[in-house]
Structure 1
Amino acid sequence: MLDKVKNHSIYQPTQPGLTFPQVPEFDNFEADRLHRKQRLVAACRAFAMEKLDYGFAGHLTIRDPEHPELYWTNPMCVHFAQVKVSNLILADHKGRVVEGNYAINRAGFVLHAAVHEAHPDIVAMCHAHTVYGTAFAALGRPLDPISQDAAAFFEDHVVIKDEAGQVAVEESAGLAVCDWFKGVKAAIHQNHGLLTASRHSIEAAAFWFIALERCCRQQLLVEASGHKPVMVSPERSRYSREHVGSEYIGWLHFQPIYEHLAATQPDMFN
């Protein structure tokens, strides 16, 4: 099984003294909390940049480091591009806002809170109503390993058919979905869309969501060509998943996105 939380890869530089991203470590909850909130905001801004918004739909969450029964999330009816540190909200597993001025997205609470509560190892989740992910979800089948990118999800995502197509506002809907997230980083919810979960970071959850949306688009394009795609073999797919599909690789992929956003959208830190 893929190691979800290792912080190294085949991309680590062998030559000393070179600039390379390092996973931060914290000696107090306050610094860790601020870091998580800033990265959550960056993930929302990245979703805006990728045009993954759909009205008020879409919710991203990260556990609080000091109070793991609470999680930070984007506020209801605020565009991803307008999310900032100051308007994030902190909620419990019952959907009660304990810090912040905005309401919580009930669908976000139903799905995410159930997963967070059922899986203490999951620290972050992402969901949005996207064009290609939603279209592919209507097929009710897993992603095929048609490329190295898609192979990153090989045997590391599931198709959820429970509550398919029904608006998830009842707590029973979250309970029906949460058990599917054992040992995987992504799910395709039939007739609904994509979800990702990370045991590493919000950066990993956000990048793998963006990547899964991209892979769904690629597969739909290939199938629309009318030609049968050549699949990556199971052995090579597993190799690619192990080396380019880890949580850490997702975190690493997100670093240039974060640096770009920090340089071009400094208001997100307000």
Structure 2
Amino acid sequence: MTIEQLQFPSVKHLVSDEEWQLRVDLAAMYRMVAMFGWDDLIFTHITAKIPGTEHFLINPYGVMFEEVTASSLVKVNLHGEKVMESEYDIIPAGFLIHSTVHAARPDAHFVMHVHSINGVAVSAQKEGLRPLSQQSMYVLGSLGYHDYEGIALKEAERGTLARDLGSNQYLMLRNHGLLTTGRSAADAFLAMHKFESACMIQVRAQAGGGTLVAIPDWILDDAPNQIAAGRRGRGPEVIWAPMMRRVARHFPGFDE
């Protein structure tokens, strides 16, 4: 049996330059998730808000993350209704989460949600994320927790989800997974990389069986100052160009 590769007609001529760049960045994020093994087949999402509109881009249901392209992304409104022609649908449960976050947080231009194995493992632990690594130090100062309410299909969950996220950049969905927000693709991606890394380190440290050493409170209290000093005026954007080159080497064609 011959399996043909998916082909998506280009929409570059149908959208603004700004939207096209947004599509390229978002498609790259999907490929990055596949590259790091954070994807749950086709069942999680990353969304981006199109500036100046109430329209959003999300992955087409039935397409693997390493197959997502800039042209394949589905444009929808806050109700999950398509506002641009596409043969693909979207997953209602996924968009309930993302539309809630976008509506509650105008600063969340990108919303990233994964069911990574390490993230789900830590989300099932009563203590949640512990201060066991430098990576965790970045996360703990802006982390909320959302209790599991079943598959995200109930409108009533919007209120508790928005409340539990609050003004945080990171949200641990109990028994479910991880979520990050960002003003840019780089911001949301780098946050997720730190979040998942902190969870992976915690699970491996616990599996080692030895006595764990936590980061002292006085260091955690000063973490915002340390993080700001470490950046020296250079935010997450410094990693974006190198990551785009890496994605292009592993999964070329995302920018089509």
TM-score range, shorter chain: 0.7 to 0.9
Q: Corresponding residue for 2:77? A: 92
Equivalent of residue 191 in structure 2, options 199, 208, 227 = 208
Q: SS of 1:144's equivalent?
A: coil
Q: Deviations over 1:230-261 (max 9, x none)?
A: 31422343333434589973333333111221
Q: Corresponding residue for 2:5? A: none
Equivalent of residue 73 in structure 1, options 58, 82, 85 = 58
CA shift, 1:171, in A, is 2.2
Matched, 1:220 2:203: yes
CA shift, 1:176, in A, is 2.0
Distance of 1:119 and 1:165 partners within structure 2: 21
Matched, 1:148 2:134: yes
TM-score by length of 1: 0.81
Matched, 1:230 2:209: no
Q: Corresponding residue for 1:33? A: 19
Question: Unpaired runs of 5+ in structure 1?
Answer: 1-28
Distance of 2:231 and 2:114 partners within structure 1: 21
Q: Spell out structure 1 runs of 4+ moving beyond 6 A.
A: 245-248
Q: Deviations over 1:30-64 (max 9, x none)?
A: 22211111000000000000111212211000100
CA shift, 1:153, in A, is 1.0
- The answer to which of 145-154 and 37-46 deviates more is 145-154
Q: Corresponding residue for 2:11? A: none
- State, as a whole percentage, how many aligned pairs show the same letter: 24
Q: CA RMSD of the aligned region, Å?
A: 2.2
Distance of 1:257 and 1:165 partners within structure 2: 35
Matched, 1:254 2:237: no
Opposite residue 195 of structure 1, the aligned amino acid is L
Residue pairs, 1:12-31, within 5 angstroms: 30-31=16-17
CA shift, 1:147, in A, is 2.3
Cα pair distance change 1:165/1:244, threshold 3 Å? farther
Contact kept, 8 Å, 1:204 with 1:248, in 2: the verdict is no
The total of aligned residue pairs comes to 238
Distance of 1:66 and 1:186 partners within structure 2: 25
Opposite residue 74 of structure 1, the aligned amino acid is N
Distance of 2:227 and 2:249 partners within structure 1: 31
Equivalent of residue 102 in structure 2, options 102, 111, 116 = 116
Cα pair distance change 1:251/1:105, threshold 3 Å? farther
- The answer to which of 238-247 and 49-58 deviates more is 238-247
Contact kept, 8 Å, 1:160 with 1:189, in 2: the verdict is yes
Contact kept, 8 Å, 1:55 with 1:77, in 2: the verdict is no
Cα pair distance change 1:35/1:247, threshold 3 Å? farther
Distance of 1:235 and 1:118 partners within structure 2: 28
